[in-house]
Amino acid sequence: MQDQGGDANPLESCPERKACQRRSFYYDVPQDSIFVLAQQAVQSMRPERITLPGERHIRSVHRVWFFRDDMEILITGSGEGSVLHVRSASRFGSWDFGVNSRRIRRLVEALNDLVASWQARADS
Q: Which pTM value belongs to this model? A: 0.88
In a domain, 76, yes or no: yes
The torsion of the CA quartet 88, 94, 95, 99, rounded to 10 degrees, works out to: -10
Question: 88: domain CATH number?
Answer: 3.30.530.50
Alpha carbon distance 107, 53 (integer Å):
19
pLDDT, tens only, 61-91: 998 777 889 999 999 998 889 999 999 999 8
Q: What is the pLDDT of residue 56?
A: 95
Counting the structural domains of the chain, the total is 1
What pLDDT is stored for residue 67 in this prediction? 83
In a domain, 41, yes or no: yes
Domain limits for position 26: 19-119
Q: What does the pLDDT read at residue 89? A: 93
Answer for the pair 8, 24: CB distance below 8 angstroms, yes or no: yes
Buried b (16+ CB within 10 A) or exposed e, 60-76: bebeeeeeebbbbbbbe
